[in-house]
A and B are shown apart, each in its own frame.
Chain A
């Protein structure tokens, strides 16, 4: 019954989305005012029902109801509970339902909380959000029903891919999805404002918390995903410019550009058309990413045939939404004035350069991701990977960081650059110190890591400059947010540079008792023993790492074997062991056994890396997210509301 109820809820929610869309459209075409009052409650109800359907799907996974096809294919009764729950979204149908749930919840939140916009703009926004939901409802209900029953229930399910059986799965996809779908609200606001021609500071202020919020989630999602790949894949790479990574980066870049441009529109009423355009691009990039991954287009043009129906469906949806929004933009472009003018040397000017560089990087990442697909269709098979991106995006990103140094020190509208020049020397000195230090003592360092660490030095000092000479207690939260986020960029950049420049690698086949040297560590391979996990068996190695100062730490990497369930083949994974030190991380992987010729004790392949400052990369990512969160908190004016309420209460207390 649970599955049938879930399906019924989805249909009702789809009907409500239809209602919001039709009522909103009729109202905007001059229909009766009563229609507008329908839209808010319908949006809220749609969000609630979709959430309930998603909760029912989780319930099916928790109960291991194998009569449901999705559960039988992706779960198993012996799996730990966390992975049963996470299994609900670790597959195509479930993740699309999660996508819809977040879309519904965002629509409901806009309907409940947004009070600053004009009523007709809000109705248009909610109708646009309903139109988005409706397409994805059609996709889910017609081509990927998560609640489909099997004619005969199998005794048990096939389990979840062991590589996905990690707490990372429980948190990573939902985080990223919130980010992706949060951008849909910005998209709907843009469409709504284009329809009613209300493009100005009020619209920008309404949109800003959504842009910041989804960008926080995208930042966290990408950071956590990078760390997950780093420790789970067993080779210690944190970013490979893989197409799937790229399609998550592209909406993040669009979000970064949008949140800077929306700041200009909210504060100065400038860059209006550009903000609307970026809002459309942001969610479009989320959809392109989903399409590329979902359709299997990534693998190669040949695997597009994997699921032509779903791929075509998504392609048509995307064409309708992106095409529709862009045509609306083209129709209204004449009536959207650019807004207030400004000089090149001004905060707006630096933000325009920031936006130009961010969108160029966005364009080149998209180009590099799609180019092999198009080239293959033309009969040319090429690969585009790290060498291309590092060479093309690397320098642009470094220039972007330098612009980031200047921007916050410039005044709005027009600046003579005095403040900028007065505050730059210390930052330039820091950069120069890093550069000379690296050249003199760093040995052979590649050009890009060298420049990266130098720029990181400049940015680290300059990012704090907006706080100089200010009363720190009175500095507004958004300023703190900006400072922390920009400082996070410096930390992240320094981590990337140091890891690439100074990584130490050792690959050895070691017998128990052998000592391996890597960087400053003497690592003793003690031996291996078999261990049994909840749903796997493993060989666990024991290694003792000794530092020069005499401390020693035990590391236990594992090589796990997950048995094949219900006719599937067994799978092996490597669980790396990590030792985090102030200066970096020691990364140890236990590989295959190597039989020795004379038949004595087996040796084991060990992979050891010393990765200097590697954890700064994710610390930087976290700082960027914290900065954005502070900025959002400051903008939400919760503090102001709270202070006003306290003041009012205090007044009331003293009232006669």
Chain B
């Protein structure tokens, strides 16, 4: 059997807070160059170097060689339930990767979270309840769909504001344009 030497991230129980403590890992990546596992940041292709500069992946520990949880790579029998689980998984962040949802990451933590989501859906929980549970555990960081609250009001209303101001300026110009043209003609 093929052994997995390098894995991205840490076992599930390590949780999200690891992220903050690991900025040292990125420094080491600069020194040693390529040592990233299957967890590639999604946008690496834009700048090849992004991989080398900013990674949070660590070499494997013995625990990583445990086989993945059953539902990590297995779909639910009921297509409707699987579709619900899939939609939720695409909105959840893989906490030890970068820019990857748990639906498309090879990291063990992502596998464990997929298992968690699928088993809860199979047990009849609603996606909203699962998300609330995960957010309570890991914070808003885990969800790619930012909530609407005081801290994100500008995020949600910013584009609308931009469009309104831009539109007001542009249409102001049109009106003036027409009236001036009218006075000319």
Chain B residues within an 8 Å CB radius of A176? 46
**Segment 71-86 of A: residues with Cβ below 8 Å from B:** 73-74
Given contacts A95-B49, A172-B48, A294-B49, 11 further A-B contacts (CB under 8 A): A73-B33, A161-B51, A163-B44, A229-B43, A303-B23, A303-B26, A307-B30, A338-B173, A353-B170, A360-B159, A384-B155
**Segment 56-101 of A: residues with Cβ below 8 Å from B:** 73-74, 89-92, 95
B20 at interface, CB cutoff 8 A: yes
1/0 contact trace for B1-27 toward A, CB 8 Å? 110111000000000000110010011
- Please name 13 pairs of A and B residues whose Cβ atoms are closer than 8 Å in the assembled complex, sorted by A: A91-B49, A229-B42, A233-B104, A235-B103, A293-B53, A349-B174, A363-B158, A364-B159, A367-B159, A381-B140, A382-B141, A385-B145, A592-B2
A574 at interface, CB cutoff 8 A: yes
Q: Are A571 and B37 in contact (CB under 8 A)?
A: yes
- Most A CB contacts (10 A, CB to CB) among B44, B98, B171 go to B44
In Å, the complex CA distance between A344 and B180 comes to: 13
A271 to chain B, nearest CB (A): 10
Flag the segment in A106-114, A134-142, A471-479, A560-568 that touches B: A560-568
B90 at interface, CB cutoff 8 A: yes
Q: Which residue on A lies nearest to B35, using beta carbons? A: A569
B71 to chain A, nearest CB (A): 10
Q: Are A225 and B46 in contact (CB under 8 A)?
A: yes
A387 at interface, CB cutoff 8 A: yes
Q: Are A293 and B50 in contact (CB under 8 A)?
A: yes
Q: Are A343 and B159 in contact (CB under 8 A)?
A: no
Given contacts A593-B2, A605-B73, contact A383 B140 (CB under 8 A): yes
Chain A residues within an 8 Å CB radius of B145? 385, 387-388
Q: Which residue on B lies nearest to A236, using beta carbons? A: B104
Chain A residues within an 8 Å CB radius of B104? 233, 235-237
A509 at interface, CB cutoff 8 A: yes
Chain B residues within an 8 Å CB radius of A305? 23
Chain B residues within an 8 Å CB radius of A243? 43, 99
Interface residues of A (CB under 8 A from B): 73-74, 89-92, 95, 158-164, 168-169, 172-173, 176, 225, 228-229, 232-237, 240, 242-248, 293-294, 296, 298-300, 302-303, 305-307, 338, 341-344, 349, 352-353, 356-357, 359-360, 363-364, 367-368, 371, 375, 378, 380-388, 392, 396, 414, 505-509, 539, 559, 561-562, 564, 567-574, 591-595, 602, 605, 607
A73 to chain B, nearest CB (A): 5
Other-chain residue from A387, A414, A505, A574 in contact with B144 (beta carbon distance below 8 A): A387
Q: Are A384 and B146 in contact (CB under 8 A)?
A: yes
Q: Are A158 and B155 in contact (CB under 8 A)?
A: no
Q: Are B38 and A572 in contact (CB under 8 A)?
A: yes
Chain B residues within an 8 Å CB radius of A506? 75
Chain A residues within an 8 Å CB radius of B139? 381
B68 to chain A, nearest CB (A): 7
Give the interface size bracket for B toward A.
35 or more
Chain B residues within an 8 Å CB radius of A236? 104
- Most A CB contacts (10 A, CB to CB) among B48, B101, B105, B140 go to B48
B7 to chain A, nearest CB (A): 9
In Å, the complex CA distance between A176 and B140 comes to: 33
Closest 9 CB pairs of A and B: A385-B144, A244-B43, A235-B104, A161-B34, A242-B99, A341-B177, A387-B145, A242-B43, A364-B159
Given contacts A161-B51, A343-B178, A383-B93, contact A300 B43 (CB under 8 A): no
A296 to chain B, nearest CB (A): 5
In Å, the complex CA distance between A393 and B156 comes to: 11
In Å, the complex CA distance between A367 and B156 comes to: 10
Given contacts A299-B26, A363-B158, A385-B91, contact A569 B59 (CB under 8 A): yes
Q: Are A163 and B51 in contact (CB under 8 A)?
A: yes
Q: Are A242 and B41 in contact (CB under 8 A)?
A: yes
1/0 contact trace for B125-162 toward A, CB 8 Å? 00000000000000111111110000110111011001
B85 to chain A, nearest CB (A): 11
In Å, the complex CA distance between A248 and B48 comes to: 13
Q: Are B101 and A300 in contact (CB under 8 A)?
A: no
Chain B residues within an 8 Å CB radius of A246? 43
A146 to chain B, nearest CB (A): 12
B54 at interface, CB cutoff 8 A: yes
Q: Which residue on B lies nearest to A361, using beta carbons? A: B159
Q: Are A296 and B53 in contact (CB under 8 A)?
A: yes
Q: Are B74 and A245 in contact (CB under 8 A)?
A: no
Chain B residues within an 8 Å CB radius of A159? 33-34
A462 to chain B, nearest CB (A): 23
Chain B residues within an 8 Å CB radius of A364? 158-159, 162
In Å, the complex CA distance between A168 and B37 comes to: 19
